[in-house]
A and B are shown apart, each in its own frame.
Chain A
């Protein structure tokens, strides 16, 4: 596929394979590797279920490993962009090094503003120690604006009120708040160190209600064990990055709430 547009934003190269025009109201879903790969699995399933097409990508020779993704004979960037209708998905199985994550967060804020995205959804997991025993997973949320909060009316999810967040979504949340963009972080209880498709299914259910489009998770749940099996390498690579980002802080109890 030919490149329609390319632009350097800081140390990141932003590519588009065709013009990206989103219908209104538009939603972006950002998935970066984090707790239980919950965001990555969620975005992967949504991309498949809504049959979104690959429209662009991001790469960095400074902050990402020297990797090229080969997909159906086409060369793709490590961070991929999918779109269709009013949905835009940023998908990556690779986590940039910590110094690059801040720059990537700022670039994503800029990119969302330029594409006129109305709402940004950040699906992630919240590690719980007894995940092995828990079957009914709870989802928590953090909204950056009152307008974003409006979207969550009448949903059976709880606000995340006190505690620490660490990792890529913590940075994204800070940057989206600073830019006053309407963003919602979804945190579903999950494993930290194992891929968790069940937690992803719970996040997808909430996303489905937010965007008003039915996304079937039956296949995801049926294939959960196979996804866990295939995601072992991605999970192993993610854990190295998360350890550097002090993910252990999330279990810590704040003195002042």
Chain B
């Protein structure tokens, strides 16, 4: 009799574990899907250009162990005007273009706008001590090393 109860409880625990794993898995999928939706909506509402005349640059953040490496693509930017500032875990990027740029041939939307600078606010994985930052600009790219 005891053995039968033992088997029954074991089976109940197994079902309980499977159910918990199933719920956790479904929850993770739902969260991932929700985050993707939010990302697409954010992208739709905040395109890579703004009608007031600024562009948003492409950037990447890579964890290199002892430091974070942030690469920013700033084609046609005037290197002397590149302005990088930090506040808490935010990085503010601004750079003037060497000359105004337009997307000729594009109807409406960005077609009539002229762009004169880059602007972006990047959320960083850590709070930044500006003393531990190195910025290198070359050929329209900027590499920023943030030491941990």
Contacts and interface: CB of A to CB of B under 8 A. Distances in A.
A193 B48 contact: no
B100 to A, nearest CB: 12
B73 A228 contact: yes
B76 A193 contact: no
A226 B107 CA distance: 19
A232 B48 contact: yes
Contacts of A193: 58, 60, 71
A225 interface: yes
A226 B55 CA distance: 13
Given A191-B73, A193-B58, 14 more contacts: A132-B71, A193-B60, A195-B73, A224-B75, A225-B75, A225-B76, A227-B75, A230-B103, A232-B56, A232-B58, A232-B73, A233-B48, A235-B58, A236-B43
A226 B101 contact: yes
A interface, over-half SS? helix
Interface string A189-231: 0010111000000000000000000000000000011111110
B132 interface: no
A194 B103 CA distance: 19
B58 A236 contact: yes
Interface residues of A, number: 17
A227 B75 CA distance: 9
Given A235-B58, A236-B43, A194 B73 contact: yes
B119 interface: no
A229 B76 contact: yes
Contacts of A229: 55, 75-76, 101
A233 B46 CA distance: 12
Contact of B141 (A132, A227, A230, A236): A132
Contacts of B143: 132
Nearest to B97: A229
18 contacts: A70-B107, A132-B136, A132-B141, A193-B58, A194-B60, A194-B73, A194-B141, A225-B75, A225-B76, A226-B75, A226-B101, A228-B73, A229-B76, A229-B101, A233-B47, A235-B58, A236-B48, A236-B58
A235 B71 CA distance: 15
B3 to A, nearest CB: 47
B111 interface: no
Given A132-B71, A193-B71, A236-B48, A226 B58 contact: no
Contacts of A226: 75-76, 101
Interface string B40-70: 0001000110000001111010000000000
Contacts of A70: 107
Contacts of A224: 75
